[in-house]
Structure 1
Amino acid sequence: MIDRTSPADVMSLASGMQVGAVLVLQRDPGDVESLLAQRVPSVPRLRRRLVATPFGGGRPIWVDDAGFDITGHVHRVVCPAPGDEAALLDIASSLVIRPLPHSAPLWSATIVTGLAEDRAALVVVFHHVLSDGIGGLAVLANLVDGSPAIEAEPFPAPAPSRHDLVKDAWAARLTSPAHFSLAGFRWPSRGARCSLNQPIGPRRRQTIARTSVSRLRTAAHRCGGTVNDALLSSVTGALGTVLAERGEHVDDLVVSVPVSTRRSTTAAHLGNSTGVMPVALPTGGDTWSRLTRIAATTRSHKKTATPVTPVFRLLQGLGIADWFMNHQHMVNTVVTNVHGPDRPVRLGGVPVVGLIPLSATTGNVTVAFAALSYAGTFTVTVVADPDRTPDLAAITEALQAELDLLG
């Protein structure tokens, strides 16, 4: 079977976005290269590279990399003093924005030693075309201890012939809708005109806010909402506070919330299976009333909203997607949330004591948020262009304050 990219994958490829996670380890696990060499074969995509097809052959395909060498993907660095979380995040930020070479499988794993309390970390980075957030967790589940034994496929498999590619592409065209319609489509709302939208540069910085999953869930249920509603309320409240400090008073912000269309949560079915759902949410009011309003809004939105992915496909087809993303005023920020392992896991026998999501921001969105739950802790990473967001610390402090009010 031909492992072909989806339309959403092609959009991710064009964006160049990379994502990942930091596994904070109780100590250095030792020979990670050998460990990953044993486990990577259980995830076929980790040994496949992306290649273009000849004319008429359809979208790019994944083929086994006959020259795959684990040493080209696993690296080691020593964290500079003082080896605290901020120093670790600086390393992780530099890794997630460093473009992965397209001549090889699109992932990397970096062991970071020299951390405080003799801890270590594993920073795993994927190109978004390889996997979205849920798929990325499925990959990690296959790399940590206790993953089910999966018989590796014969490697390397021969690449499909041009005849097979053209035949497969035509079969896909015949069984897929001939077009998508934008009739009746309306963008939910224009984003607020504010300093959250500016052209961004190449640098990124990541900071962390945390709370308890159980306390956040209890607070959300009290207001008729979900954990994701509580996250959205905390984000918009924090941004409203910081915008006011900047002298900007904004009543509502449009938040881009990914919507998963994934039918499988295993590492055998990766790729990008998310759509984009923009929703206008309030920034003001007290914490509890805002959460109640947001819970009602998202409930209604889930029933009536249409993902805007086809719009971006159209823009990409016209060759203006990059221009649009750099000049748009439809979305003010992006918030993602992935449910991670409920119980602690180990890597090479070493406890994973923390799991930090790594995200990116593109276009003219100066700050974005990625949340990940792990073993009862809810971690939110704030990623921003530090040159456009010099008050990143204030945003993080305001977010932590909002989470604490709910906890």
Structure 2
Amino acid sequence: MERLTPLSYAFLAAEDVDPTACLVIGSLAVLDGPAPHVDELRTVVAARLPTVPRYQQRVVPDRFGLRAPSWQDDPDVDLRRHVTRRRVPAPGGRAEVASLIAEAMAERMDRDRPLWDVTVCVGLADGRWGLLSRVHHALADGVSGTGLYRVVFDSEAAPDQPPPTPPGTAPGVTGGSLRAAARGVLALGTALLPVTRAGLLGPLDGTRRYAWTEVGIAETEGVRRELGVTVNDLVLAAISGGLRELLLERGRQPDAHALRTLLPVSARAPGTAGLPGNEVTLMLSMLPVELDDPVERVLQVHERVAGLRRAHEPEAGVVLQALAGLLPFPVLDRGLRWGLRLPQQQVSTVTTNVPGPRTPLTCLGRPVRQLLPVVPIADRVRLGFAVLSYGDRLAFGITADGSSTPDVDVLASKVAEAWRSLLARPEQPPPAGLERRSRSSRPGRPGT
């Protein structure tokens, strides 16, 4: 009997504490038509489900509440409830697809069943259809959540291959790294100062909005080589640029302490991406929304993330999780629920960047044209960014609180503009340093 880790249990506790939270991760695959009958997909899933045993298990609480809930086999997995069909409202365009994703990702899962489902979405424009895959965060993190692809997509199924060997000691918890992890704990402590009132924090209303934008990866090769940065640096810089413009649109002046993002970091051992569970740690970084120049932004992102790694923040997260696992479960449970009830003021958004399939996917012989990722939001965090690669494309999926962020489509377009502004800049050497004065002092524009 395997019990939930403290991190996996925390995602369930967050839903218990906050009625507006839905801790479900997922993605929508857009495929060429014609759409299959839902029974066809159920047949495929039934044949492949044994390759991922965790998807046949449900969460069972301890009878006396003295130990963490456990994963136990569900003897009667009813695929009629896990594989369903849904119609996108006419005309099935971008707005209708985004609305369907937002509505579905706000729907909580039944904990009496395995915590996943797949929906065949029919009625998309141009004769296409969608496949919406959802997994509860208690079951999987962003990396292992793509394990559901093995069940629904032809090229990812590999039913004749054995699962990877379970990892040994998680990175960051070896004896030689404990001193570094202690320094990381101190760094995390200083990163928990509240953000300014100019940020985007606040209560959620339980409804969601969704928008997305897509960019190319290959076109960034020259900029990455010239500036010595990574695709992940470009992603965070584009999000920073988009959020800067959002603040200005709302009449707020961006400053260096306005927005802090939580950056999930995989702590998985090599070869364990397909295993379920939450092998993830974190970094907390201020986003340089005060900088107007796109080159300065990406260089500042690069330096900040490198500094967090030098401070060993990811290792600290792993060690803290390990220490939490040593606590008696009743103590852990009460501590988690007490902490989750406090109005957090430190994290403004979450940004997760997950490497997706590099080769084209198919489902029942139909090719997948797009993969649109979705990240949950909770705990006064009104905006979340999920970034997923597919082939040579990168999709930014933005989840927003329904009432406080009606301009999520504008934000998506601003992120795309920030991405293009760096790639389309005039050929010139990078700035000599980050101390060059930015143009962040231009006045804010009237709010919308």
Please report the TM-score for the alignment, with normalisation by the length of structure 2.
Answer: 0.79
1:187 correspondence with 2:190 = yes
Q: C-alpha distance in 2, partners of 1:15/1:84?
A: 34
The partner residue of 2:102 within 88, 93, 103 is: 93
The aligned amino acid for 1:8 is: L
Q: CA RMSD in A?
A: 2.5
Q: 2:211 matched to which residue of 1?
A: 207
1:298 correspondence with 2:298 = no
Residues 143, 273 of structure 2: 8 Å contact kept: no
Q: Name the stretch that deviates more: 48-57 or 345-354.
A: 48-57
Counterpart secondary structure, 1:149: coil
Counterpart secondary structure, 2:278: coil
Q: C-alpha distance in 2, partners of 1:398/1:316?
A: 41
Cα 1:350–1:339, aligned 2, differ >3 Å: closer, same or farther?
A: same
Residues 192, 250 of structure 1: 8 Å contact kept: no
What does 1:96-115 correspond to in 2, within 5 Å?
A: 96-115=105-124
* CA distances 1:278-299 after superposition (whole Å, capped 9, x unpaired): 1123111310111011111111
Cα 1:21–1:366, aligned 2, differ >3 Å: closer, same or farther?
A: same
Q: 2:231 matched to which residue of 1?
A: 227
Q: 1:377 matched to which residue of 2?
A: 393
1:387 correspondence with 2:403 = yes
Cα 1:386–1:72, aligned 2, differ >3 Å: closer, same or farther?
A: closer
1:84 correspondence with 2:93 = yes
Residues 233, 290 of structure 1: 8 Å contact kept: yes
1:258 correspondence with 2:268 = no
Residues 193, 329 of structure 1: 8 Å contact kept: no
The partner residue of 1:197 within 182, 197, 201 is: 201
Q: 2:136 matched to which residue of 1?
A: 127
* CA distances 1:163-190 after superposition (whole Å, capped 9, x unpaired): xxxxxxxxxxxxxx9xx98974623253
Counterpart secondary structure, 2:402: coil
Please report the TM-score for the alignment, with normalisation by the length of structure 1.
Answer: 0.86
Q: C-alpha distance in 1, partners of 2:125/2:393?
A: 20
CA positional deviation for 1:4: 2.2
Counterpart secondary structure, 1:282: coil
Number of equivalenced pairs? 379
Q: C-alpha distance in 2, partners of 1:268/1:58?
A: 27
The partner residue of 1:322 within 334, 337, 340 is: 340
Cα 1:257–1:74, aligned 2, differ >3 Å: closer, same or farther?
A: same
Residues 49, 63 of structure 1: 8 Å contact kept: yes
Counterpart secondary structure, 1:139: helix
Q: C-alpha distance in 2, partners of 1:260/1:239?
A: 25
* CA distances 1:224-267 after superposition (whole Å, capped 9, x unpaired): 22111111111111111211222211222211101111225557
* CA distances 1:99-139 after superposition (whole Å, capped 9, x unpaired): 11000001111101111111111101111011111001123
Counterpart secondary structure, 1:21: strand
Counterpart secondary structure, 1:365: coil
1:341 correspondence with 2:341 = no
* CA distances 1:69-107 after superposition (whole Å, capped 9, x unpaired): 211201111211111132122112211211110000011
Identity of aligned residues (%): 28
1:275 correspondence with 2:291 = no
Residues 25, 376 of structure 2: 8 Å contact kept: yes
What does 1:41-190 correspond to in 2, within 5 Å?
A: 41-55=50-64, 58-146=67-155, 147-150=157-160, 184=186, 186-188=189-191, 189-190=193-194
Q: Name the stretch that deviates more: 138-147 or 198-207.
A: 138-147
Residues 27, 134 of structure 2: 8 Å contact kept: yes
Q: C-alpha distance in 1, partners of 2:242/2:111?
A: 38
Q: 1:12 matched to which residue of 2?
A: 11
Residues 23, 356 of structure 1: 8 Å contact kept: yes
**Which runs of 5 or more structure 2 residues have no equivalent in the other structure?**
16-22, 164-177, 325-330, 424-448
Q: C-alpha distance in 1, partners of 2:89/2:152?
A: 27
The aligned amino acid for 1:34 is: T
Cα 1:183–1:65, aligned 2, differ >3 Å: closer, same or farther?
A: closer
**Which runs of 5 or more structure 1 residues have no equivalent in the other structure?**
154-176
Q: 1:3 matched to which residue of 2?
A: 2
1:239 correspondence with 2:243 = yes
CA positional deviation for 1:192: 2.8
